[in-house]
Amino acid sequence: MEQLPFYRGGICRIIAKKQKAIFREMRDNTMQDPIYDQGSRLIFHVDVNSAFLSWSALKALEEDPSGMDLRTIPSAVGGDVKLRKGVITAKSIPAKEYGIRTGEPVVTALQKCPGLVLVRGDFQTYRMYSKKLIELLKNYSDKLEQVSIDEAYLDMTDAMNEMIKAEKPASGIETVISDQENGIQDDVSMEQTEHLREVRKNEKEIISLAERLKREVREKLGFTVNVGISTNKLLAKMASDREKPDKVHTIFPWEIPDKLWPLPVGELYGCGHATASRLQEMGVRTIGDLALLGRMLLISQLGDSLGAYIYAASMGLGSDEVRTSREDAKSVSNEWTTSVDVDASNFTAEAIPLLHVLAGSVAERLIKDGVYASTIGVVVKTDTFARKSRQTRLRESTNDESLIYQTAEQLLTQLCFGDHGSSGLFDQGAGLRLIGVKAEHLDKGEYRQISLFDYSKSLEEERRRKKKEESLQAMIEKIQLRYGQEAVHLGTGKERDMERGSK
């Protein structure tokens, strides 16, 4: 089946009608959820190209200006450089040409490219460059959401509006573009319609602004980024993932037939490898094919949450909310994908040390934010990608690392091995591929019973806090260098923007 001609004429109109139906459903009843939206903002997604490798290269050139730029040769960050063990956490573009993938064992990467140059990760350097990037991006918008050490969303709506106000038309004649030419569905709100018209009319200026941002990063900081532009975060993220490095890409609503639908279904953000394989077994090859399937069919095959997300995402619908603060956070959580499936045979060796790190990370975040949690929980993802969780309410809220760990260990043990006669996940033949710890129902300590002992203990904890924080960070970074990066994230009590699948 030829892809591009397929998305023309009648088929394109059929898909457009399906998109209209989704808008009606959103407006009228069952899908009144802000995560499914064509968007009424202007969003930039800024993503550093091969971040760890690029930042390691800059550090190496700083130490030896006459040395080779790691970005120009087959090179990678990850594992134990001396023993050549572990996994690849970042790679250069020349290394990618050898088929080397992030997350694969160093030994297989060396088989593909015997001359591959390996460097050890340096998180102190990475945090320094990440901080510089965020400081620069804040010059473009104060509505910024950093989603990992090397990527962030910017809400550029205000910047666009200021740009429009500053424009001085050369004549009194204005070109009017119809909604159909704009790719605007007739079921969207008047506010969205007006916004999309303005974006379409100022598309060249918007791209020029992104080019300026990209150029400033390269010239001032020494590394390159991709900038994806759209009216919601999903499409902006998909845009930034297109051709690299040092590029600006757009996927606006009117560009969906040309730029989104022809892509392989596995490239849809949130569609992991297992989900993509399942869809391919159903005959789905491209995102456009996916858009032709019925929502109920996808829900029946993938479940309520993932099925609804996959269907809406194939239509280019996603959240346009850039979360700039943590003030509304209702939970703190940290999840980690394990290097091997965890079962009864390796539970103590694999799960328990990881649980210590996760509990410590959650406790540190609670302490840093000055809050306490009265509910502690654990969440796992099995080897069949099913998510399971268990939680308990404490008698008194806490941010104590030891208590959080002890509670999480008890919950995880019950979940995996069973409790009070009920079977656990391991009894059912399941293995674990992801483990998480979460703390919910946060308060500022107003409900805690303060004692003299608590006060004395808090003074001692304050003296020890920095030392513990450094020790914890070192442990986290050691795991990151071995297994790859996974950031702590804060819940807001709302459903996540999307179900993130492993790419």
What pLDDT score does 112 carry? 95
> For 92-113, what is each residue's pLDDT tens digit?
999 999 999 887 888 899 999 9
Q: Using an 8 Å Cβ cutoff, are 295 and 401 in contact?
A: no
Average pLDDT, the chain: 80
- The three-state secondary structure class of 147 is strand
pLDDT in tens, 342-355: 899 889 888 888 89
- The answer to whether residues 296 and 210 touch, using CB atoms and an 8 Å cutoff, is no
Coil/strand/helix, residue 321: coil
Each residue's pLDDT tens digit, 270-326: 888 888 889 999 999 999 998 888 788 899 988 888 888 899 999 999 999 998 765
Judged by DSSP in three states, 501 sits in coil
Confidence of residue 28 (pLDDT cuts 50, 70, 90): very low
Question: In this predicted structure, what is the pLDDT of residue 368?
Answer: 72
> What are the distances in angstroms from CA 154 to CA 231, 317, 497?
11, 18, 16
CA 419 remoteness from chain centre = 34
- Residue 18 is predicted with a pLDDT of 55
**What are the chain's domains?**
3-48+130-314 (3.30.70.270), 331-491 (3.30.1490.100)
Closest CA to 337 of 438, 193, 433, 445: 433
Q: Quote the pLDDT of residue 219.
A: 97
Q: For residue range 447-471, list pLDDT tens digits in order.
A: 555 444 444 555 455 556 656 666 6
pLDDT for the residue 84? 66
Digit-coded pLDDT (tens) for 29-88? 333 333 445 567 999 999 999 999 999 999 999 999 999 999 999 999 876 666 666 778
pLDDT for the residue numbered 465: 60
pTM (two decimals): 0.63
Could you give the percent of the chain with pLDDT greater than 70? 73
Other CB atoms within 10 A of residue 191 CB: 9
Of 486, 493, 480, whose CA–CA distance to 123 is shortest? 480
Res. 155 pLDDT band, cuts 50 70 90: very high
For 395-423, the pLDDT digits (tens) are 889 999 899 999 999 999 999 999 877 88
Place of tokens 């346009």: 320
Chain segment 167-194, per-residue pLDDT in tens: 655 444 344 444 444 444 444 556 667 7
Which among 47, 26, 3, 10 is positioned nearest to 315, based on CA atoms?
26
pLDDT value of residue 496: 40
Please report the pLDDT score of residue 357 as a whole number.
82
Whole-angstrom distance, CA of residue 154 vs CA of residue 167: 22
**pLDDT given at position 180:** 47
